[in-house]
Amino acid sequence: MSKSIAGFSKLSKSKKIDWIVDTYFSNGETAKNVLKQYWNSDEKLQQLHDEFIENTITNYYLPLGVAPNFLINNRMYTIPMAIEESSVVAAASKAAKFWLDRGGFKTKVISTTKIGQVHFSFLGDFKKLEAFFNHIKPKLYSDSENITKNMTKRGGGIVSIELRNKTTDIPNYYQLHVSFETLDAMGANFINSCLEQFAKTLKSEALDYKVFSENERQIDIIMSILSNYVPNCLVRAEVSCKVEELAESNGISGDAFAKKFVQAVNIAEVEPYRAVTHNKGVMNGIDAVILATGNDFRAVEAGVHAYAARNGQYSSLTHAKIENGIFKFWTEIPLALGTVGGLTGLHPLVKLALEMLHNPSAKELMEIVAVAGLAQNFAALRSLTTTGIQQGHMKMHLMNILNQFEATKDEKQTLTTYFKDQTVSHNAVIEALNKLRQNIEK
């Protein structure tokens, strides 16, 4: 039976593991061996990983793959991708090769503004609050100069501070809505530090504002925090070619392919059940690059999906059309990313991934990540509207099934060859593996 424990975080790593295996595993020695086999033999590197988070007991590995042949704004890239899902890297690579011969991907950063908010309650006249805000606005800037001076020197900083009346949503609720430019940093710590200073200034200045009544002077700060919804931190990625250049080797004409592809996108634009799966495919590409480059994929996911529902219904992140004989496929997507700070300067593989991408600025990384999402979605829709998604996906999943049943190297080689022209399914692989083993025994 599970039991609680006091002071767990203060235990040594080995003591934490002892408690875990004694409490939860019937074979504690086996569990301990599994945990330890993922430790890095380089003690310094292992300590670095241990200190990323609290209560670390081991490392959790994900494959780091690469997708070559991406031509983005006439520059070649090989994109690093950290992901466990079969077929994602292969699909991205296939899409990159397809568009390499058709002009590649074109991208443009539309805007890079990020948002933070100070949420507070005020019991009083809004017009008096508005006058107070205008009175202290210069002080909000000056009181935060010690935080913003380095960012300002580099060309970033606070873009604007607004007072917003939200009392129609919640009684007495107001906010300072602040826009920031954080350049190559994702900027979460910078933004939050500024917001907390604004909150202090707001609260302290209210106490001395003579126009306020005693009750109005008691501004109640609820919280100060950045927003991961970044509709004004936007990047566009697109591909285009003549319709006839889309002809498939299996006999599907370019015109037929383009029309069916556009229909598939149109369905995702109006049908939320399809849009969620459609956008999950986009995020397969995006998340994999976000992870490989040490950025926060949870923040990106939250912001992207909020953006997909910005018009009141969840909808497709990608769009397609045929115009004057030209097929166009594009996305405009919000991405708040950084190439300095956080894991980007700590994790050795993140450093390698960024160097592989020519050490991009935050804007350049936005473009690369958007392209990965667009490529992934193109590959998925190309399969869905032609051969079906399972043919390619299950062929990539074949190795996972064989590993699950502990196939030998020779068995893998034989069955990989066998399934080149056979439909892959879980049952089919098990039957083929059993039959192979029975023949060997005979």
**Positions of E strands within 293-404:** 318-323, 326-334
Q: Which residues contact 328 (CB under 8 A, 6 or more apart)?
A: 238, 239, 240, 320, 321, 322
CA distance 142 to 148: 9
Pairing of strands 326-334, 220-226: unpaired
First to last CA, the chain: 48
With the C-alpha atoms ordered 90, 92, 93, 95, is the resulting torsion angle positive or negative? positive
Partners of residue 181 on adjacent β-strands:
157
Catalytic machinery residues: 85, 280, 296, 393
Sheet holding 157-165, edge to edge: 157-165, 173-181, 114-121, 220-226
Quick check: 407 and 433 in contact, CB under 8 A?
Answer: yes
CA distance 179 to 272: 31
Helix or strand or coil: residue 429?
Answer: helix
Q: Which residues contact 148 (CB under 8 A, 6 or more apart)?
A: 157, 158, 190, 194
Helix or strand or coil: residue 327?
Answer: strand
Residues making up the chain, counted from first to last? 442
Partners of residue 177 on adjacent β-strands:
117, 162
CA distance 399 to 395: 8
CA distance 23 to 37: 20
Partners of residue 72 on adjacent β-strands:
75, 105
CA distance 393 to 88: 9
Give the closest residue to 231 by CA, choosing from 302, 167, 287.
302
Quick check: 80 and 347 in contact, CB under 8 A?
Answer: no
> Helices (DSSP H) in 7-71: which residue ranges?
13-24, 28-37, 43-50
Which helix (H) or strand (E) is 259 found in, with range? helix 254-270
